[in-house]
């Protein structure tokens, strides 16, 4: 590719007007609920979902609108419409399918006349011989085997091996006799010579039609065809329609009594007739035309969104690629080409049944043609040529360029210039009739081989979620009617959810605050627990045990009520101390001697952790306590209240000091007395 090549199909930043998008929204909201995706479940588009869908549609398809509006046949709402003459040739492949079915019925008819010997047909004799041969093989395996003190000698239906061998040779003789006296017609069936001649003539007759199916008999064919159908007394004249001849042929053989005959014959009559038809032809980027791309007049395809066949289409599908409708709608390249019956007198073509439909992909100065529906006419390019010629002419007028193209057919040509995304079925990569047309470049320049992006992830018209399902246009959650929490986006369990102001939240995001008596969303919440106790599994495995109350309280309530809602230091769980525990606050001197307070929901566990109750009914870690043995205290005292000089609680320091002074005075008096006595004794 020449990187400096100037493209004719130039993308732009056009935004579809809001009033046009609102019109499409109204159409989609009215259209989708008419059809079901599951039993008793109709599509349920919402404002949110359709708005999200059309937002992506506008972003990717908007660039085409100025070019569509530039065409003289633009009728508004994303559609170019005009009438074109269609010449429909004989559908060779489907005619051959019908003739092959008739041949099978002829074979079935003549099997009633199978040659018999001793009451057996060739097939019955051959099958019997095979079964007896198998029995003889197993008898040989068993006979002669050691069985206790003797040897095994088995029988079948009372017949010994020798008797069974005699029967085998008798059956083989019958089989061979039938084969030698008659004529083999395949599938282990043998006819008499006379019936074989009739069967062979009728088979040759059908082969003549099979190898050259056309509408009318010619003079050259009549004599030969009459000679082949002499056994049926079927007279054929020149110019007689093949469909009429085959109708009489089937009636003579009783094939017309077959259950599926009428339906097959009606299709054959349509396929073998060449017709010139004038129809409305529409080239569209209207969203409804993507959703209804498989709504044929008597056909459907795997892209249909009518999964339960509410349209009562005689040729229906389950919509295994229904998601492809959105894939095509939301990309930047796909255009819908279809025809509508000439009897329709209006402009809302998107709601009419489509006679034919073909998807085109447009961009990068290229045009990719997909498969033509309903009949692909593989092997017959006529309808492809006609449809492509109309599309090429229309595109050249849209972009104001010469209607000159380079053409290449086949899946390899399509694959070389496409980049597929989304959930649509890739017709252009699977059917050889699909093709690529390049705008013919100016002399000396190479054609543009830049790839066209085909397809896009779907947008659920119910919830607006992007998805890539191939078998649904709605997302998996909406298919299964699963709701999502608007806060966290996770699935909401039907048995465990909270509805607030018409919105459903999961139980993780919406909590009831028992303090404020209200639902809290996007607010930190703490669960409350019941009375705590010390649980001992072993000397090394001792914990605080408690149970969840199914109640929550918000952090704001905890901050506003610190004396009521407290967190256990060991388990980190919260308790409403006015209801559930008789726990205690413990104090410790950390951070440069500053007193810090912690909460233990169990006094026993606090003791286990080394905390003790002081004289003031407060609890401190034992390392920070000193036991005061004075009779007026006899309790633990925090070290910051300890008088190290007097070795007592500083609350009784004056008393201890006074007592110490009295003791010192008493000791001084005692020492004076002893000194006086010693002096007197010395004198």
Q: What is the pLDDT of residues 3-22, one digit of tens each?
A: 456 788 999 999 999 999 99
From residue 642, how far is each of 434, 610, 626, 633, 636 by CA, in Å?
Answer: 99, 20, 8, 12, 10
Give residue-wise pLDDT tens across range 608-631.
888 999 999 899 989 889 999 998
From residue 459, how far is each of 49, 54, 251, 491 by CA, in Å?
Answer: 7, 9, 54, 18
pLDDT given for residue 1 in this prediction: 42
Distance of alpha carbon 319 from alpha carbon 307, whole angstroms: 5
Say what the pTM is.
Answer: 0.56
pLDDT given for residue 81 in this prediction: 93
Angle, helices 242-253 vs 92-110, to 10°: value is 20
The mean per-residue pLDDT over the stretch 364-386 comes to 80
3-class SS of residue 339: strand
Which of 91-95, 191-195, 622-626 is the most confident on average?
622-626
3-class SS of residue 471: coil
Six token digits for residue 605: 């566990």
User: In this model, does residue 370 exceed pLDDT 90?
Assistant: yes
**pLDDT band per the 50, 70, 90 thresholds, residue 456:** very high
The mean per-residue pLDDT over the stretch 511-519 comes to 93
499: number of Cβ within 10 Å = 12
User: In this model, does residue 2 exceed pLDDT 50?
Assistant: no
Region for 368 from its dihedrals, namely left if φ exceeds 0, alpha if ψ lies in -120 to 50, beta otherwise: beta
The mean per-residue pLDDT over the stretch 584-607 comes to 82
Chain center to CA of 35:
19
**pLDDT band per the 50, 70, 90 thresholds, residue 538:** confident
Q: Give the DSSP letter string of 201-212.
A: HHHHHHHHHHHS
At 120, phi and psi to the nearest 5? -115, 145
User: In this model, does residue 446 exceed pLDDT 70?
Assistant: no
Distance of alpha carbon 576 from alpha carbon 530, whole angstroms: 8
At 368, phi and psi to the nearest 5? -105, 125
Contacting residues for 370 by C-beta, under 8 A, at least 6 apart? 358, 359, 360, 361, 427, 428, 434
Average pLDDT score over the chain: 88
DSSP single-letter state for residue 373: E
The mean per-residue pLDDT over the stretch 652-681 comes to 90
636 forms beta bridges with: 614, 627
Of 611, 595, 602, whose CA–CA distance to 577 is shortest? 602
Region for 529 from its dihedrals, namely left if φ exceeds 0, alpha if ψ lies in -120 to 50, beta otherwise: beta
3-class SS of residue 524: coil
Chain center to CA of 335:
25
């Amino acid at each position: 590719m020449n990187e400096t090549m100037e493209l004719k199909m130039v993308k732009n930043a056009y935004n579809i007007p809001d009033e046009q998008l609102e019109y499409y929204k109204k159409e989609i909201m009215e259209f989708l609920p008419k059809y079901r995706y599951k039993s008793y479940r109709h599509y349920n588009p919402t404002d949110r979902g359709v708005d999200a869908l059309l937002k992506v549609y506008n972003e990717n398809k908007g660039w085409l609108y100025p070019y569509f509006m530039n065409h003289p046949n633009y009728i508004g709402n994303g559609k170019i419409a005009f009438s074109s003459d269609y010449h429909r040739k004989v559908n060779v492949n489907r005619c051959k399918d019908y003739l092959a079915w008739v041949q099978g019925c002829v074979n079935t008819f003549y099997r009633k006349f199978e040659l018999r010997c001793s009451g057996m047909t060739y097939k019955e004799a051959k099958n019997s011989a095979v079964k007896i041969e198998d029995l003889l093989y197993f008898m040989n395996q068993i006979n002669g085997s050691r069985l206790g003190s003797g040897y095994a000698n088995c029988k079948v239906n009372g017949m010994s091996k020798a008797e069974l061998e005699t029967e085998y040779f008798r059956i083989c003789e019958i089989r061979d006799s039938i084969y030698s006296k008659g004529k083999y017609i395949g599938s282990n069936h043998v006819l008499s010579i006379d019936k074989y001649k009739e069967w062979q003539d009728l088979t040759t007759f059908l082969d003549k039609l099979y190898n050259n199916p056309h509408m009318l008999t010619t003079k050259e064919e009549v004599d030969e065809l009459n000679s082949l159908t002499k056994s049926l007394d079927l007279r054929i004249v020149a110019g007689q329609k093949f469909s009429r001849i085959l109708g009489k042929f089937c009636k003579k053989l009783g094939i017309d009594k077959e259950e599926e005959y009428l339906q097959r014959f009606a299709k054959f009559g349509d396929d073998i007739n060449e017709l010139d038809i004038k129809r409305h032809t529409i080239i569209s980027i209207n969203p409804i035309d993507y959703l209804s791309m498989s709504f044929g007049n008597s056909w459907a395809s795997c892209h249909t969104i009518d999964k339960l066949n509410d349209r009562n289409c005689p040729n229906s599908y389950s919509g295994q690629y229904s998601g492809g409708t959105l894939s095509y709608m939301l990309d930047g390249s796909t255009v819908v080409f279809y025809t509508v019956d000439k009897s329709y007198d209006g402009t809302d073509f998107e709601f009419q049944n489509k006679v034919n439909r073909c998807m085109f992909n447009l961009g990068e100065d290229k045009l990719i043609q997909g498969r033509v529906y309903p009949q692909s006419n593989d092997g017959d390019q006529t309808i492809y040529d006609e449809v492509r010629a109309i599309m090429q002419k229309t595109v050249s007028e849209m972009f104001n360029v010469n209607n000159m193209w380079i053409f290449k057919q086949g899946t390899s040509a399509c694959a070389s210039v496409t980049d597929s995304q989304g959930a649509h079925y890739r017709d252009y990569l699977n059917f050889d009739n699909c093709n690529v047309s390049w705008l013919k470049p100016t002399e000396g320049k190479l054609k543009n081989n830049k790839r066209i992006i085909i397809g896009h992830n779907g947008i659920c018209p119910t919830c607006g979620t992007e998805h890539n399902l191939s078998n649904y246009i709605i997302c998996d959650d909406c298919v299964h009617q699963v709701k999502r929490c608007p806060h966290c986006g996770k699935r909401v369990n039907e048995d465990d959810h909270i509805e607030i102001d018409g919105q459903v939240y999961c139980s993780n995001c919406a909590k009831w605050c028992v303090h404020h008596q209200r639902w809290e969303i996007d607010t930190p919440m703490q669960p409350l627990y019941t009375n705590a106790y010390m649980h001992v599994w072993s000397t090394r495995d001792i914990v605080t045990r408690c149970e969840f109350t199914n109640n929550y309280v918000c952090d704001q309530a905890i901050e506003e009520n610190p004396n009521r809602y407290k967190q256990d230091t060991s388990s980190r769980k919260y308790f409403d101390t006015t209801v559930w525990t008789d726990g205690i606050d413990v104090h410790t001197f950390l951070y440069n001697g500053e007193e810090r307070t912690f909460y233990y929901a169990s006094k026993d566990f606090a003791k286990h952790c080394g905390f003790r109750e002081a004289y003031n009914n407060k609890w401190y870690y034992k390392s920070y306590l000193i036991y005061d043995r004075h009779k007026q205290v006899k309790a633990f005292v925090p070290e910051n209240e300890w008088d190290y000089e007097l070795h007592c609680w500083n609350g009784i320091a004056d008393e201890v000091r006074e007592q110490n002074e009295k003791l010192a005075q008493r000791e001084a008096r005692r020492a004076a007395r002893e000194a006086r006595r010693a002096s007197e004794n010395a004198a």
